[in-house]
Chain A
Amino acid sequence: MTSRPAAAAAPVARRAARTRPRSGRGERPVWMGEPSKLGVGARGLVLGLGCLAVLVPFWAVLVTSIASPEEVNKAGGFVLWSNEPTLDAYRAVLSGGIVTRALLVSAGITVVGTALSLVATIALAYALSRPGSLLHKPVLLMTLFTLLFNPGIIPMYLTVKQLGLLDSYWALILPVLVNAFNVIVMRAFFQEIPRELRESAHIDGAGELRILLRIVLPLSKAVVSVIGLFYAVAYWNAFFSAMLYLQSPEKWPLQLVLRTYVVNNTPIGADQLSSSLENLPPQISVQMAILVISVLPILLIYPFIQKHFAKGLMVGAVKG
């Protein structure tokens, strides 16, 4: 590198001149040398392989879900390229309207549940972030207690039953309305907000509710959206509580319905039913179609929240 500057000074200067006006950021500092072609290539290769390791499984899932039965048989598993794509697997899953109905149920539970959970979590976290609030210590301890001790399946079931929630959608929301971990994360965030802001609002005559709505929440968009995503994903993915509490299969949310396709598609099921299964697409295609259907909604939401995501997660990281 030492002999280079003299010979290469002109082109470097030219290149620098070309890049400078575009932006101040992302530009190579003066003290850094030119990267060698090999270095760039190697870095590109490593990053490319990394990306492939993430993308190829997704690709395989997608292609397998649309591959024809012959292709699946030939590959004996995942398919990477399909010459005769077919939507039979999706047709098999979506026929009969069960999955579409379950999709609506899941969407409803996720939207209502997330909204209620956020209201409850914000209220609790805000109260717990103020040392002087009513019964501060006992409530905080009770909240933390649930982090350590889980009631277990049967006591939960009995509670839900005695509250008359069996076979009701509320059974999927109320028992998991507040998650202690989320409360702690949000409380930590609220505590970071300078006390002076609250005090000045007080002096200006604002009550607690107004302070929460006008001062604290607007400053907490990052944590609210992250916690909201946590809740949404949890509601979206929940199947076990639905399995226990919902008696009527027509009320099942998407994940539970899809589960019957995945866990039950063992070679042993449906004995004596072989003849009627003759036209079903291969199991693996059906399973991959299910994967695509269940992942899609979360994939679609994620880009909109992503910018908050990194920021929100940092909250706990630095301050603890």
Chain B
Amino acid sequence: MAPTFSRRHVLALGAAAGLAPLLGACGDGGPSAPNGSSGPVKPPTYKPVTVAEPDLAAKPAGVSPGYFTYPSGAGAAAQPVQGAPVTALTYTYDPIAPALDANPYWQNLNRQIGTELKITYVASADYKSKVATTIAGGDLPDIVAIQGVFQQMPAMLKATFTDLTEYLSGDAVLAYPNLAALPTDAWRATIYDQRIWGVPVPRARIGTVLYTRADLLAKAGLSLQPESWDEFKEMARALTDERAGRWAFGQIPFTTILEMNGITGNWPGGAGVWQAEGGVFTHSGTTPQFMQALADTVELVKSGVIHPDHAGVPNTKRNAWMLAGTTAFTIGGYAGWGKFYGQAKDVPGFRLTGMLSPTRDGKGQRVRTPGPTLSSFTAIAKTGDADRIKQILKVLDWLCSPFGSSEYLALRYGVEGETFTRDGSDPVLTEAGRSQVFLPVRYIAEASPVIYEPGNRQAVKDQHDHQVAGVPLAVADPTLGLYSETAASKAASEQQELDAVLLEIQLGNKPVSAWQPAIKKFMDRVGNKIKAEYEEQAGD
């Protein structure tokens, strides 16, 4: 493997529980979070664009707007961009799309943008190797999606990509209205050494969701929101019937238990574990609340409410359990929410909600681990040609056209009558269109996510409700906008060791007391150094 792999990449490979795909996909939130804007550079001014009024408002801040139907009579939100073709390298989470000559969706997109897009892409799992070799080979395309954090990230960006600060910082971004509508937190993750290096692909702030089969809970006469640890355990017991082959959980709800004890973090991987108070950073693994959470976890596992095969099966399997009613919960990234409806279309009465973590005693302030602010950011290969940079930014601006605009239709659905038809005002992809839209333009640049489940008002409402309830609880990640070289280059193997100890404790193979020496070793080897690096930058 190339030496330029980040710890996050290793984490993604070591996916053992619900969160790893999210970590692999996203570049923020953890000790290796990309870095930032605490100093002189001004993040791009935030100015939302709305082409169509949402049915459910984007309030409070950070909540995605909800739409029951696709807005009709949508107008244009961007100008066509003239100029030379733009080559791009990105990743995808989808199967591959047909080539340009057999892809009317792509042809139409090129026509509408006015600039030809030439996209090279690989599966996200292989993307790190592809980027590493491409950068090493020195033959970069015009734009490259940067996913995760590399070693020597600031130096690599400086040597290889264009500093976009003068084009995007502060009010300069207003020349690209759709880019100005991207959330500030997402921009923060594109800033290294006080320079802006790319355009973020933003993600919903809600983060990891404890997906709940509301229909199963309702059938059992249970509340959709337990208010304390005792109620939570009671609910889990009520949902478990080993003889009937039913359990409450398909994996250990460790983040929920952490949050119940008042601390945040996604494990394995340890994203979002740093807390800051008065400029002092603390790893939540060193707190007494973490020890309490471990003891709680062991208790929950011992009570037999978790599927006996939970350890070591892939998440697709856990999701299948949830869909089949074998378990009532599954844990996954928010971005996967919409997919469940398609998979559950044959499950009678299926209703999916998100459960918030209660507090331990049912009193006090609830907390939540926020999601990553972006999936990746798109950087422009080093060039001094200002006109070319502006042209490329205009193309990216075009790709960020908001929900409801005619550009958005072209980006997500293609050509009416050819790649999609209408059901009322809702666009429906045709069979040919379905594979054509797999072209991963959305992993180059896209507008902030919206909630839209055509023909399923309840689904839109459930997602919006969860965001409205959950987003305000999110504890801001203090490392967002900071860069720790130790975290990016040295923490990977230490974190793996820590994750291994954690799993052994959770499964009851090691006593809870095994955690103290493990976390001490972690802190001695890398943790204290990471802490110092963060504190130094935060103090600037």
Contacts and interface: CB of A to CB of B under 8 A. Distances in A.
B315 A267 contact: yes
A278 B123 CA distance: 22
B175 interface: no
Nearest to B316: A283
A264 interface: yes
A283 B429 CA distance: 19
B310 to A, nearest CB: 13
B96 A98 contact: yes
Contacts of B123: 243, 259-260, 263-264
Nearest to A290: B95
A157 B99 contact: no
A268 B333 contact: yes
Contact of A275 (B136, B431, B452): B452
Nearest to A162: B137
Contact of A243 (B95, B130, B336, B449): B130
B125 interface: yes
A272 interface: yes
A263 B125 contact: yes
Contacts of A240: 126, 129
Contact of A161 (B139, B319, B449): B139
A166 B134 CA distance: 11
Interface stretch (B151-159, B277-285, B432-440, B511-519): B432-440
Nearest to B122: A243
Most A C-beta atoms less than 10 A away, residue of B25, B321, B346, B433? B346
B334 to A, nearest CB: 8
Nearest to B338: A274
Interface of A: 69-70, 72-77, 95-98, 152-154, 157-158, 161, 166, 240, 243-244, 247-250, 252, 257, 259-261, 263-280, 282-284
30 contacts: A69-B343, A69-B345, A76-B321, A77-B320, A95-B431, A95-B432, A96-B432, A98-B97, A98-B98, A153-B2, A157-B133, A157-B137, A158-B136, A161-B139, A249-B121, A252-B96, A264-B92, A266-B315, A267-B315, A267-B340, A268-B93, A269-B94, A271-B449, A272-B450, A273-B339, A273-B437, A275-B338, A276-B428, A277-B434, A278-B341
Contacts of A283: 316, 343
A276 B316 contact: no
A94 to B, nearest CB: 11
Contacts of B317: 76-77
Interface string B223-246: 000000000000000000000000
Nearest to B314: A266
Q: Which 10 A-B pairs have the closest CB atoms?
A: A274-B338, A269-B93, A271-B335, A250-B99, A76-B324, A267-B336, A157-B133, A96-B435, A276-B429, A278-B342
B93 A275 contact: no
Given A154-B2, A270-B339, A275-B453, 9 more contacts: A77-B320, A97-B102, A98-B95, A157-B136, A166-B139, A249-B121, A264-B94, A268-B332, A272-B338
Nearest to A76: B324
B21 to A, nearest CB: 5
A267 B324 contact: no
Interface residues of B, number: 71
Nearest to B94: A270
Contacts of A260: 92, 94-96, 123
A266 B336 CA distance: 8
B14 interface: no
Given A249-B99, A267-B319, A282-B343, A272 B452 contact: yes
A280 B321 CA distance: 18
B269 to A, nearest CB: 14
Contacts of A274: 337-339, 341-342, 453
B132 interface: yes
A249 B136 contact: no
A70 B346 contact: yes
Contacts of B336: 266-269, 271
B65 to A, nearest CB: 13
Most B C-beta atoms less than 10 A away, residue of A153, A248, A264, A282? A264
Nearest to A153: B2
A279 B429 CA distance: 10
A280 B428 CA distance: 13
B344 to A, nearest CB: 8
Contacts of B94: 260, 264, 269-270, 273
A29 B148 CA distance: 70
A249 B129 CA distance: 16
B120 interface: yes
B529 interface: no
Given A257-B96, A267-B333, A270-B93, A276 B434 contact: yes
B449 A272 contact: yes
Nearest to B413: A276
B25 A268 contact: yes
B454 interface: yes
A243 B21 CA distance: 21
A166 to B, nearest CB: 8
B326 interface: yes
A250 B120 CA distance: 10
Contacts of A277: 339, 342, 434
A264 B316 contact: no
Nearest to A278: B342
Nearest to A287: B316
Contact of A284 (B320, B335, B339): B320
B318 to A, nearest CB: 9
Interface in B438-457: 442, 449-450, 452-454
A73 B342 contact: no
B323 interface: yes
Nearest to B419: A276
A275 B452 CA distance: 8
Contacts of A266: 21, 93, 315-316, 336
B386 interface: no
A152 B136 CA distance: 13
Contacts of B22: 268
A95 B435 contact: yes
Contacts of A275: 338, 342, 426, 428-429, 452-454
